[in-house]
Structure 1
């Protein structure tokens, strides 16, 4: 070192600080790259992204390589700074050189390059990947040895795997959708979130309860059956004998009308035209049932409990409406038709409405983890069939039972302006 001039050592020290900045910035840039955008760019043939993705396949080796380079550079820079300090200020120069070098490395070799890299990871990572790949080949044995030692130490402390996973959980994906902002239109965000919620919702939550199923009793008077076919609000109608539990099958309205036009419509021809029944176990999540409909090439099914009793009816359209919202092609009653606003600000609600539809329509917060309908929720809370004019408070909402019939609550008045949080 005595043969090398102080000015040459200063230039060498400056180069080492630049290398320190390179390693520090490269580490931050590589680690802060958006992995999903990186894969997208790589799939489109972006060479910088392909190189970066290759390096990130083994992040432990990449970090080991960068840290080896960074430590070698910083240690060598400290040694040269000490020599320069001793030449200029003697023994006192050691302390001066250490203090100055610490400040210089901290500002120019760590904080500044890492901040720039964090703000512009792709602009730093893609070009630096050239040198990192070259260094990974040069120091392959050193990096492998260091990783072998660190892996052994990690296993001693109970860490068996150092591989990283970029898979997003459902809640993380939900956050990504929420934070997409203007990148994804609000309507599309709602649809994506609805898809994520499908597995939380079962067929019981959206089914038409058995008491509301529009169906034809084949044992009724034939004129009445004929009128039901003509006035049917649905394209597929359930056919049964005397009781829903003795269901025969579904008749497509198109087939029934064709028989009528040919004057061949009779009870026997009606029974011959029915399609085989498709049953759905209660508790089936909507995402599973959607796949089952597709696999079995079905569009409608009857929900049955563990005893085989029919509980309700679910269609493919019902599931799709959970994703894209209500269609307007059906004559079925919508939640808004079950909710009538009164002049005093209260609401008269058909108690057969499902809790999910009520909450969705009115932005209310009735519990959905128990009974599926408002009637069921009231009966569970009171543990009895209430009389008319009974008042109660459910989930913080004041309710008044207006009409009771057939052992069911038919109509309820809800007064949301007097809502009190149950918490």
Structure 2
């Protein structure tokens, strides 16, 4: 199948790495693994941190101009995809391009990872909210990345067009690292946190982690931190310097060995959609202590591959971590279960199969809709 792709939240060629960019690239890689031909139709970025009616109107105009440019290009070259696919859609990152092209060329239109916040229906984000809702109404298939988003989308997307597409990753480098022999977990437990040091939810996650660890200062542990950003000077002093090792930001290829050499990933996951780090850590054979946030329970099996606590609750987080610190053998058991869990449910091959089913459903719905019309 020929698939035209766009990511209005964060284009695949955006220079700043993030979990969102990585997931977009993984979707394309999985589709190609399944034998589909994927082109990036546009790298237009609709996302804005702050909205206003004037700014949203200007973005809409620029997006529609981009759509017209693509129309001319496809018409001149004779290119016509079988489906238009958009990744990550919501009021701050609406998609005007995909629906316009799908309508112009008579294509099925599908959306992966959409969320909806009805409180944004009015105010500064009203234009973006309306555009996102219009795209969802046009979509022949919509996939949420986790059940919490699916529940919110159910108000506007009929059940026959809505599904949950569990996230996945390229497991090979993490599985290879997991086979490197390391000692069984022992005191002091070797903890790892991986997260960018930027304003907002990432900083809040570091704050909750620091608060939880302060409750365990009489217990043996050592924390390695991988990450950097504008809030570094605010975040690092939260932790006792003699009990942390800060490695800064590392390239993706360096991460598997660091995951595999630790006993546990610890991350509160404030407002995380699902947390790619949890997939990576489990694929590398380590369990996680995490916040029970949005899609995290969909990829971490509580009590088996990790322990989840109420989002933002440092006391709960500390209690879960204490449970493993006092019984280090639990870290090894969770790590073994984690590796098997990812291998069974979250590989690139599993993603390729789920994505093929998804785009096939979108095409079938479009065919049925147009036939009825």
TM range (shorter): under 0.3
TM-score (norm 1): 0.18
TM-score (norm 2): 0.20
CA radius of gyration, larger in = 1
Higher relative contact order (CA 8 A, sep 6+): 2
